Amino acid sequence: MTSSSPPPSLSPSAVSHPLDLGGRVALVTGAASGIGRACALRLAAAGAEVRAVDRDAAGLGELVERADRTGDLAGRIVPRVLDLTDLDAAEAAAAGTDVLVNNAGLQLVRPLEEFPPDVFHTVLTVMLEAPFRLIRGALPHMYEQGWGRIVNVSSVHGLRASAFKSAYVAAKHGLEGLSKTAALEGAPHGVTSNCVNPAYVRTPLVEKQIADQAAAHGIPEDRVVSEVFLKDSAVRRLIEPEEVAEAVAYLCAPQASFVTGTSLVLDGGWTAH
């Protein structure tokens, strides 16, 4: 007969206990804006020291200013300007990390026959190879202490394809496989690895797509949100970055210690079709 008792690390009182990452170090890529910024602030609010990584120095400065204004978060955000195409530097930056959030991304909307090969290469480097190197850099410390959380910000496009997004879809599908492999290898060491899969989020990355989407689909820009972004969503709105950050925080909590190798889908019903 299987015991119904909770694991030693999860007492009954922990079920409703707020997330406490005091003493933990979290690394968030793409932290200067959008989902990354929301994740950095959320994890800092839980007590973590957050290594905020981005190539946008001005955006990182705004993040630190916002954290400092919050009071309790002052000093918890440690910014680092880093281009993730420097893969050796990315791997080195992850050393000593307890929580790794692979979030950085970029997008170009073009038909396959017009998609620039150099951009395809850059997208795969930043969104798939860099996460591999970051995980590789973080795992020795996680394994040594017997605890770690890897959260890969994937997308509904990690589960479904869309036309004109060959590089992005390829990278996100690859990230799903990488995340599952990390979950299988990390489980004996107390390390979980999961994906969070939002639909279209209200971020600069999405806003910058509007003109390209209009051109690719042959429609006016003011119809892109309703006819492209929300076409397959049962919930007819964009998701907010803070909602994604809450999903990331949940995967770091004691209550999620049994959740690994899976994808937490926040798609407004897109994949229910």
Q: Give the pLDDT score at 3.
A: 44
Question: Is position 10 within any domain?
Answer: no
Q: Which two tokens stand for residue 195?
A: 């994906």
Q: Give the pLDDT score at 15.
A: 55
Question: Is position 12 within any domain?
Answer: no
The Cβ of residue 12 has, within 10 Å, a number of other Cβ atoms equal to 8
Question: Is position 196 within any domain?
Answer: yes
Question: Is position 250 within any domain?
Answer: yes
38, amino acid identity: A
Q: Give the pLDDT score at 137.
A: 98
Angle at 33 between CA 136 and CA 244, to 5 degrees: 70
79 has which bridge partners? 52
Question: Is position 9 within any domain?
Answer: no
Which residue is catalytic, options 143, 168, 200, 250? 168
**What are the tens digits of pLDDT across the range 113-137?**
999 999 999 999 999 999 999 999 9
Question: Is position 27 within any domain?
Answer: yes
Which of 55, 102, 105, 46 is closest to 77 using CA atoms?
A: 46
Question: Is position 57 within any domain?
Answer: yes
Query: Does the annotation count 143 as an active-site position?
Result: no
- Residue 8 pLDDT > 60: no
Q: Give the pLDDT score at 204.
A: 78
Q: Are 108 and 119 in contact (CB under 8 A)?
A: yes
Q: Which two tokens stand for residue 59?
A: 């955006």
Any idea what the CATH number is for the domain that residue 177 is in? Answer: 3.40.50.720
Phi, psi dihedral angles at 20 (to 5 degrees) = -125, 110
Q: What is the mean pLDDT of residues 156-175?
A: 96
The reported pTM is 0.90
- Residue 1 pLDDT > 90: no
67 has which bridge partners? none
Domain containing residue 61? 22-203+234-268
**What are the tens digits of pLDDT across the range 12-51?**
555 557 899 999 999 999 999 999 999 999 999 999 999 9
Q: What is the number of structural domains in the chain?
A: 1
Which of 118, 109, 137 is closest to 218 using CA atoms?
A: 109
